[in-house]
Structure 1
Amino acid sequence: MYLNMKKKFILLILVISSFAGFAQQQKDYHIAILGDKLIPETDQILVQLKDEIKSVVGQSANIIFKDSFILLNDLNLDKAKSNYEEMLAAKDVDLILSFGSINNLVIAKNKTFPKPVILFGVINDDFISFPESQVASNIPNLTYILTPQSYKRDLLQFKEIFPYRKIGIVIDKYLMDIYPVKNTLDQIFNDITAEYQLIPIDKASDIDGKLEDLDAIYLSGGIFFTKDEQLALVEKFNAKKLPTFTSMDEHFSNYGVLLTSQPINNLEQFFRRIALNIEAAVNGDNLSQLPIYMDIDAKLSLNIETAFQINFPLKYSFLLRTNIVGNAKRISYQKRYTLPEVMNQVLDQNLGLKAEQKNIELASQEVKLSKSEYLPDLSTSASATHLDPDLAKVSNGSNPEYSTSGKVTFEQLIFSEQASANIKIQKEIEKASKENYNSKEKDAIFNAGYAYYNALISKANFLINDENLRVTRQNYEIAQQKYDAGQTGKSDVLRWKSELARATQNIVNGYTSLNQSFNELNQILNNPIDLRIDVIDFESKNHKEGHIKFFNLLDDPFLRERFTHFIEDTAIENAHELKSLQHNISASKRTELLYQRSKFLPTIGLQGQYNHTFSRDGKGTNYPTGFTGAPDGYYNVGVQLSLPIFQKNQRNIKRQKSFIQREQLNIQKDDAIVSIKRNVHDVILSIISQYSSIELSKVSTEAAKESLELMQVSYTNGAIGITSLIDSQQAYFQAQQQQANATYNFQLSILQLERIMSYFFILHSEEENQAFINRVKEKIVR
């Protein structure tokens, strides 16, 4: 036992000694880092870069980063030059790692490089001219790492997505001093059918007043701005509803830039490539022969919030290869509606109700018109006459050659069965018009509520499809990573690509349905069709409690039948359609009575007239001697009584016609009552069914979500195949859709029942709703 312990101890000593010897053999390797300017993420990025370099090169050398060897030029050419010269002169510096346009410009101008230099290329491809066959720097101690960033490629891609006519190109002002930006852009736009306006900036306010005649923005400046400055810059573009495109930092997409083209997993790839180049330098490899180009896959991101905010015309063919970012729940809107706001606005602004209101006004005028038959009729007239002189001469003064005269006529209806009946008939028609309006008003409230819930359903489905697209893209990327690692076949990648296409089409359909539902709601609310609106599912405490109390009575199977009968009675009692029919029936009865009584009741009227001759002249003016002519003014008064005896039998025919019309109206009333009862039963059954669906769909959704999470982990670990994961994902999102549809359809059915009763809880106070519930309990609870 002692010997075994001794052997193990000796072996441990040898192992430790060998590691110590290895550590002593490792050489220290100092790396200097040159940058242009700090950005908020600089510290974090440097930590990641250092860790990656040490991880890769740690077996070959002891990598040392001194704080004094990390220098920034603050976008100053002279300082960039002095920083580089300082690092060349520093004895401890073994390799210079350079970032940024300013540093790379200064360093690249040198002919020789005493120390190894790695230039990480933020320099745009458009400013670099290497022969097509050149794949290395071919300069001792120098290598580049160039990414495929290009103004031309970005601008062509943007043009394909959005056919801009004049685009503003926003670029950092300092770059204008060191690179031939304008000449480069002039050459690029020889191949692009559009104009451009160059906008150099040092601060966000530099763009003020320069966006008026533009229809798009390409953002290539502001990378060194603070977060607040970058947000302010992007907000200025979005406020002008200008589509924006950038291939700078990915965070610009989160700040509201519409389209962002960024390499996939760029930091990891860049850091690994930098680390491998440093390892090559440590091992003595010739940097001049290292590859200078770095092939990376780029992804196009679309900020869905910005797309809504600026009303961007989505080109759906690009969505398949577009990564949708932003929170679809934060839809940009000019006005947001709750159900009470929808109902109140429809009462004030709906055009259909305004038109129906005119029918009441017309009916009111008809009542006034019928009453006016009993108002006096007073008229006056004047005349001037020229008579044939020969005829005037022999008229003995009764008809002079020239005369002027006037008269006033008065008529007053004293009694008319026709007029009296018409007054009563028109009053009934006016009441019927009011009930028709009340019915239309309730219909408008219900239609507005229906459109509101339809918009909520469309919004829920859109958000569900948005989540489905994100999860599908995530699973697609998992499959791609597994394929790259050799853990799965190409078929999985292709299957997920197919699912991605389907999910994209679903979100396109969801987006279209959402906009259609908003258009419908705008029309009902008499808003401009292009008004950007949103709906939120917000119910007041009063409304919710009223629904809960109401539903609890309905949910009790022992009270349900009596409850249903009560609802039937209430609906029939409150039905404006029945009230309107009843007023029309009353009008028809009065019409029938008119034709029955009019043959016995006379029409009595009073008439009077006053005549006055103003002048007499010419021949025939004088009366014969001994005769006194008629006075210049005189009157007559009389009473007229008329009684039609036989009017071609039309009176009897019209009375029969009125009787038939009344029978028809009664039949319509009975039919309406039957329809009301049937609708009550149908809606109550629907409410009960949907309420149970809500509870079951909640359980189903929670279980499906947990199952999907487990399946994703299992698929990532290779424990299950692709089919199981797809089935699990589809089950989860179908459960979500069923839950959303059941929830809003339940609320819609409650609204429909309220419409049948002509009583909307949301439009009444808590006291009124409680009184209604109490009345229900008094009728059904025994």
Structure 2
Amino acid sequence: MLKSTKHITEAGWIFRFVLPFLAISPIFADTTTVGTVIDGQAEYYDELFDIVCRETLSLTGDEFSLSFQQPVSGKWERTTIEKELRKQLSDPDIDIVIALGYIASDQALRISNPSKPLICPLIFDRAYQETKAQPSSNLIQIDTPMLLKRDLTTFYEMTPFTHLAFLCSAHFNPDINRAKAYITSLLDLRSVRVDLIPIGDSSSKLVLPKGTDAVYLAFLPHLSKKNRKKMIGGLNSQSLPVFASMGGEDVPLGALAGYKNERAAQKIARQIALIVQQMLLGVPITSKPMVMSSFEHLLVNMNTAQNISIFPPYSLLTEATLIEAPIPPQTKVWSINEIIDKAVSENLSILVKARELKTGEQEIERAKTHFKPQVHAETLFARIDEDRTSSLLNIPEQQLTQSLTVTQLIYSEDAKADRAIQEQLQLSREEDLSLVRLDIILQTGQAYLKLLKAEAYENIQKENLERSRNHLQLARIRQSTGYSGRSDVYRWESQIAVNRKDVLQADAIKAAARIELNRLMHRSLEEDIMLDRADVSDPQYLTNHALLKKMIRDPWHFRQLRDFLTQEAIAVNPQIKLIDHKLKAQERELLAAERSYWTPTIAFKGEISHKFDKSGAGSNSLTLPPQYANLFSEIDDTSWSAGVAIKLPVLSGGQKLVRNAKARLEVDRIRLLKREVEEKLEAGLRAMLHKAGASYSAIELSKKSAFAAQQNLDLVYDGYSHGVLSVIELLDAQNAALTANLLATNAVYSFLLDYLQVERLTGNFITFSSPQERASWFNRLQHYSESCKNKQQERKYELK
């Protein structure tokens, strides 16, 4: 059976793509009139009819004369719809009839051997409808399935329910018992009570059975958006989760979730247009049912979820498109420059270095105190042996003395060197702070780009998951129509499980990137952050200057750019400046060591003391006979002294020699360290520039690869849907497209990350600088390029 189906499909391809280019006589010689029957007056059918008219007239163009009659309403009655269909089939002025409605398509299938082409484009569920139309060349069947089982499975995974109210259109005249049994069977033996609630022209009197904990909203074309929104709002007010079969329309109106069929009406209209065109060209139309595959993705209304306290699991949220609550006007949207400023001002690593800088300022102040007056006050209580006392010399047994000493350093080579060294070390601390600031800017820029990259990866994985779901849907339809077996369905179910894992992993990577960005900005780690994505993920954001584009387009100018950036890096890089300041500090230490052999230390010292109390032996004044009174002057209780001391080193046991040798070796070490750092910096910068140049060139190539892979996937998908190609070929094409898309996204962000590394190595983030600084930088680049050009011309002249 599969083999014969493949031959039929290949023939269909020949008719579809070859015969239109051959001279085929159309079957309608004059104006072709198309009649349409709709279920009833509804916004959905009016819009769908307009799209069908536009698509068909656009496709047929001026080649054929085609007219559409106004659609006839069946007034939501099956008997009326069947009557109108038969009426148009018997009308000689109508050449083609379209049953443009779910009821109309169902009734059309029950008409045997229609006398003219009858298109049934809205067959939603053959298993439930139990339609067994007799094969007829005039009966064109298009399956546009509503995947009820998928909807119910997703709904149950989102919020396990026990009592489901199934709201359907009363105009479909459902068999309540059969419909309930069918819906229950789709729930795969879950213990769920199902109540079918027919909805008429008004939803204002909606009363749900007691105990209802979930509501499924089926297709209700007869209700306007206003009425559906009102009904959904009423259900939300009862904290009832609502899953909508028309997710694209009803989830934005307030339903909790539903699947959105991308451009469903356009696809249906385009398929009808292609069928009409084939009829006009005289191409045979297959009597087998055509499958209208769709690319659907899950929508979740997060505002509704919060309001009714329903929390969908990660497994669904990561694959869904989330309709968030409206962003309050005061919500901060962070641009890349604002994020950088926030990180620079509040990052803890920078604040720690800033405190070290403050500590260094105190070291300078400490060194300055060497040449400031030193004043010391002292109080002394002393007691000596009685036999050591002397009233004549004013040496009492017990005394309380207070003294004040003043010292002023006049000259000291070590003190001068200490101040100079601390000033240089403080400058090195400032450069160390600049290094940390550059590192934080780099890390913040990387975290920002990695978060954008993670979001892009997640979107790609979600799209791939939806594509696998679409392919699973197609495989199930192929199985139901006999195009393939059950193995294709199992293969896609397995693939979907793998894709869901990939989506969860992508979401985890995104969460980790957000946490890292918040950490660098010193924000709450789990706090959401709204990013301004304008232009940042575009390489032109960094390379939008004409001069820079010129410098990377050919090897000669690219070499100039590398030389210029190396020159800039060595001139302004804080790491080299830091080493320069440490070198100057060590050179001053070496100078002090050399001068220590002969430079003295000069200081002034003065002291005054007074005995405030004395007692015991020797405390009383000695009274001499008058004849001896002039021989001894009385010693009072106050004494003072003042003088200048000059201290010259003579011998220190070899300490000066060791100090001198050590300082000299340290100077040599730092000079070598500077050369090493400059060499590493230049090598790293030039290598990173080559890497950035390669990643920039890879962007366009990756885009071409992704485009080609997507084109290939479209072709293979078309072949698989027509039974020409196998599931393995489709899976291979899908994986190739996924890989190409991921590589294309990675190419963009790899270049942006490489470019940030280049700017970090140069020691100056021109990307985040002010317009004036950027203009100055580009002026220097322009001047350097012109000087290189002039030197080249001079060399050519000298050679001549």
Same fold (TM over 0.5): yes
Residue 461 of structure 1 is matched in structure 2 by: 457
CA offset at residue 480 of structure 1?
Answer: 0.7
- Alignment partners' CA distance in 1, 2:304 and 2:656: 71
Secondary structure of 2:430's aligned partner: helix
Secondary structure of 2:603's aligned partner: strand
Secondary structure of 2:610's aligned partner: strand
Residue 568 of structure 1 is matched in structure 2 by: 566
- Alignment partners' CA distance in 1, 2:234 and 2:594: 84
Change (3 A) 1:500 1:54: farther
Q: Are residue 725 (structure 1) and residue 730 (structure 2) matched? A: yes
Change (3 A) 1:42 1:735: closer
Change (3 A) 1:254 1:555: same
Instruction: Tell me if structure 2 keeps the 8 A contact 1:324–1:470.
Output: no
The one of 773, 780, 792 aligned to 1:768 = 773
Q: Are residue 744 (structure 1) and residue 749 (structure 2) matched? A: yes
Q: Are residue 593 (structure 1) and residue 591 (structure 2) matched? A: yes
CA offset at residue 356 of structure 1?
Answer: 1.2
Residue 146 of structure 1 is matched in structure 2 by: 180
CA offset at residue 671 of structure 1?
Answer: 1.4
Change (3 A) 1:127 1:666: closer
Change (3 A) 1:469 1:419: same
Change (3 A) 1:52 1:579: farther
- Alignment partners' CA distance in 2, 1:769 and 1:471: 45
CA offset at residue 517 of structure 1?
Answer: 1.0
CA offset at residue 42 of structure 1?
Answer: 12
CA offset at residue 377 of structure 1?
Answer: 0.7
- Alignment partners' CA distance in 1, 2:327 and 2:510: 11
Residue 355 of structure 1 is matched in structure 2 by: 352
- Alignment partners' CA distance in 2, 1:236 and 1:658: 81
The letter of the residue matching 1:550 is L
- Alignment partners' CA distance in 1, 2:525 and 2:713: 40
Change (3 A) 1:343 1:602: same
Secondary structure of 1:624's aligned partner: coil
- Alignment partners' CA distance in 1, 2:375 and 2:623: 39
Q: Are residue 409 (structure 1) and residue 409 (structure 2) matched? A: no
Instruction: Tell me if structure 2 keeps the 8 A contact 1:303–1:324.
Output: yes
Change (3 A) 1:231 1:658: farther
- Alignment partners' CA distance in 1, 2:320 and 2:363: 62
Instruction: Tell me if structure 2 keeps the 8 A contact 1:250–1:260.
Output: yes
The letter of the residue matching 1:341 is E
Deviations 1:684-732 (CA, angstroms, capped at 9, x unpaired): 2122212221111222222322332333233222232222222222222
The one of 354, 364, 370 aligned to 1:373 = 370
Residue 662 of structure 2 is matched in structure 1 by: 657
Secondary structure of 1:644's aligned partner: coil
Change (3 A) 1:127 1:733: closer
- Alignment partners' CA distance in 1, 2:717 and 2:618: 121
Residue 555 of structure 1 is matched in structure 2 by: 553
Residue 520 of structure 2 is matched in structure 1 by: 524
Instruction: Tell me if structure 1 keeps the 8 A contact 2:303–2:325.
Output: no
Change (3 A) 1:304 1:600: farther
Q: Are residue 490 (structure 1) and residue 486 (structure 2) matched? A: yes
Change (3 A) 1:228 1:235: same
TM-score (norm 1): 0.64
Q: Are residue 535 (structure 1) and residue 531 (structure 2) matched? A: yes
Change (3 A) 1:431 1:58: same
Change (3 A) 1:52 1:715: farther
Q: Which moved more, 1:643-652 or 1:514-523?
A: 643-652
Q: Are residue 694 (structure 1) and residue 699 (structure 2) matched? A: yes
Secondary structure of 2:556's aligned partner: coil
Residue 344 of structure 1 is matched in structure 2 by: 341
CA offset at residue 752 of structure 1?
Answer: 1.7
Change (3 A) 1:612 1:59: closer
Residue 671 of structure 1 is matched in structure 2 by: 676
Residue 109 of structure 2 is matched in structure 1 by: none
Instruction: Tell me if structure 2 keeps the 8 A contact 1:397–1:623.
Output: no
Residue 285 of structure 1 is matched in structure 2 by: none
The letter of the residue matching 2:685 is V
- Alignment partners' CA distance in 1, 2:364 and 2:319: 67
Matches within 5 A, 1:161-310: 181=210, 245-247=241-243, 251=247, 253-254=251-252, 303=300
Identity of aligned residues (%): 22
Instruction: Tell me if structure 2 keeps the 8 A contact 1:680–1:756.
Output: yes
CA offset at residue 535 of structure 1?
Answer: 3.5
CA-based RMSD of the aligned residues comes to 4.6
- Alignment partners' CA distance in 2, 1:572 and 1:598: 35
Deviations 1:146-202 (CA, angstroms, capped at 9, x unpaired): 36889xx99x999xxxxxxxxxxxxx99889x85x3xx58xxxxxxxxxxxxxxxxx
Deviations 1:335-357 (CA, angstroms, capped at 9, x unpaired): 54332122221211111111111
- Alignment partners' CA distance in 2, 1:315 and 1:355: 41
Secondary structure of 1:625's aligned partner: coil
CA offset at residue 402 of structure 1?
Answer: 5.3
Instruction: Tell me if structure 1 keeps the 8 A contact 2:319–2:462.
Output: no
Instruction: Tell me if structure 1 keeps the 8 A contact 2:586–2:663.
Output: yes
TM-score (norm 2): 0.63
CA offset at residue 742 of structure 1?
Answer: 0.8
CA offset at residue 548 of structure 1?
Answer: 4.6
- Alignment partners' CA distance in 1, 2:646 and 2:237: 85
Q: Which moved more, 1:413-422 or 1:725-734?
A: 725-734
Q: Are residue 473 (structure 1) and residue 499 (structure 2) matched? A: no
Change (3 A) 1:51 1:651: farther
Instruction: Tell me if structure 2 keeps the 8 A contact 1:334–1:533.
Output: no
Instruction: Tell me if structure 2 keeps the 8 A contact 1:257–1:306.
Output: no
Deviations 1:100-148 (CA, angstroms, capped at 9, x unpaired): xxxxxxxxxxxxxxxxxxxxxxxx98599xxxxxxxxxxxx99674368
- Alignment partners' CA distance in 2, 1:579 and 1:236: 67
- Alignment partners' CA distance in 2, 1:127 and 1:725: 37
Secondary structure of 1:689's aligned partner: helix
- Alignment partners' CA distance in 1, 2:432 and 2:251: 54
Secondary structure of 1:641's aligned partner: strand
Show structure 1 runs of 5+ residues with no match. 1-30, 63-123, 129-140, 159-171, 186-216, 263-298
Matches within 5 A, 1:12-161: 50=76, 145-146=179-180
Change (3 A) 1:249 1:727: closer
Show structure 2 runs of 5+ residues with no match. 1-38, 49-71, 89-160, 166-174, 193-202, 261-295, 625-631, 790-800
The letter of the residue matching 1:604 is I
For this pair of structures, how many residues does the alignment match? 578
Secondary structure of 1:146's aligned partner: helix
CA offset at residue 317 of structure 1?
Answer: 6.3
Instruction: Tell me if structure 2 keeps the 8 A contact 1:339–1:539.
Output: no
Q: Are residue 615 (structure 1) and residue 620 (structure 2) matched? A: no
Deviations 1:272-291 (CA, angstroms, capped at 9, x unpaired): xxxxxxxxxxxxxxxxxxxx
Instruction: Tell me if structure 1 keeps the 8 A contact 2:315–2:500.
Output: no
Instruction: Tell me if structure 2 keeps the 8 A contact 1:711–1:724.
Output: yes
The letter of the residue matching 2:584 is S
- Alignment partners' CA distance in 2, 1:413 and 1:313: 76
The letter of the residue matching 1:146 is K
Instruction: Tell me if structure 2 keeps the 8 A contact 1:350–1:524.
Output: yes
- Alignment partners' CA distance in 2, 1:452 and 1:411: 59
Change (3 A) 1:174 1:504: same
CA offset at residue 554 of structure 1?
Answer: 2.3
Residue 435 of structure 2 is matched in structure 1 by: 439
Q: Which moved more, 1:572-581 or 1:396-405?
A: 396-405
Deviations 1:649-695 (CA, angstroms, capped at 9, x unpaired): 12211222222222222222111111122122212212221222111
Change (3 A) 1:523 1:126: closer
Instruction: Tell me if structure 2 keeps the 8 A contact 1:546–1:769.
Output: no
The letter of the residue matching 1:650 is Q
The letter of the residue matching 2:754 is S
Residue 644 of structure 1 is matched in structure 2 by: 649
- Alignment partners' CA distance in 1, 2:616 and 2:714: 117
